[in-house]
C-alpha cells in the first residue's frame, strides 16, 4: 500500500462510524458557516456525499466559493478535512443513498426537484486519535501532572489527499 493510499485508509478508518459531519462553507458575507449534514456514503475514498435541498444556503454559497471543510468529533477522535464541494445532480446516486431519514426532510421522495447532492472532495486532512477515550486521556493528564512531562496524547497527523 502506498503512503497516499495508507493515508486515505487511515482517515477512512477514523470517520467510518460517523453518521453526521459539520460542513463548513463561506457565506456571501465572507463568514465561515458550519452546519450538520448526514454523510451518505460509508466508504471514504477522498470524497463525501450529502443529500441537500437545491434551494439551501450551502448550495448557494458553494456556487460562489467552492472552498469547504468537513469535521467529525467524538470522545476520542477528531478529524478535519479541507477541500472543495459542489452541487451535483445524480438521480441514480440519490436513489442509492435514499433512506427513511432523508425522507423525513424530503417527504416528496427522491424525485422531488429540490433534492440534490453535494460532493465534497478532500484535499487534506488532520486528525487526532486518542485510543481509549476519556479514561486514557484522564490517565495521561494525571500522569503528566505528577511527572511534569507531557503525556501521550494519542496520534496526530496531517494528511495530503491530493
Mean pLDDT along residues 135-154: 58
Closest Cα partner for 38 from 91, 99, 81, 85? 99
Instruction: Return the number of other C-beta atoms located less than 10 Å from residue 123's C-beta.
Output: 13
Supply the pTM of this predicted model.
Answer: 0.85
Q: Is the pLDDT of residue 106 over 80?
A: yes
Q: Is the pLDDT of residue 121 over 70?
A: yes
Q: Which residues contact 86 (CB under 8 A, 6 or more apart)?
A: 62, 66, 118, 119
Say what the pLDDT of residue 157 is. Answer: 82
Instruction: Decide if 71 contacts 32 (C-beta within 8 A).
Output: no
Q: Is the pLDDT of residue 135 over 80?
A: no
Amino acid at each position: 500500500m502506498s503512503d497516499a493510499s495508507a493515508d486515505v485508509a487511515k482517515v477512512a478508518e477514523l470517520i467510518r462510524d460517523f453518521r453526521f459531519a459539520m460542513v463548513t462553507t463561506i457565506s456571501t458575507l465572507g463568514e465561515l458557516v458550519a452546519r450538520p449534514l448526514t454523510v451518505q456514503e460509508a466508504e471514504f475514498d477522498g470524497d463525501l456525499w450529502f443529500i441537500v435541498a437545491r434551494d439551501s444556503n450551502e448550495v448557494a454559497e458553494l456556487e460562489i466559493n467552492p472552498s469547504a471543510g468537513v469535521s467529525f468529533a467524538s470522545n476520542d477522535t477528531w478529524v478535519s478535512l479541507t477541500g472543495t464541494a459542489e452541487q451535483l445532480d445524480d438521480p441514480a446516486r440519490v436513489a442509492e443513498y435514499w433512506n427513511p431519514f432523508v425522507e423525513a426532510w424530503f417527504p416528496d421522495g427522491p424525485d422531488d426537484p429540490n433534492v440534490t447532492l453535494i460532493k465534497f472532495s478532500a484535499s487534506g486532512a488532520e486528525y487526532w486519535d486518542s485510543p481509549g477515550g476519556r479514561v486514557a486521556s484522564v490517565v495521561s493528564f494525571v500522569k503528566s501532572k505528577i511527572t511534569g512531562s507531557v503525556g501521550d496524547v494519542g496520534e496526530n497527523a496531517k494528511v495530503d489527499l491530493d
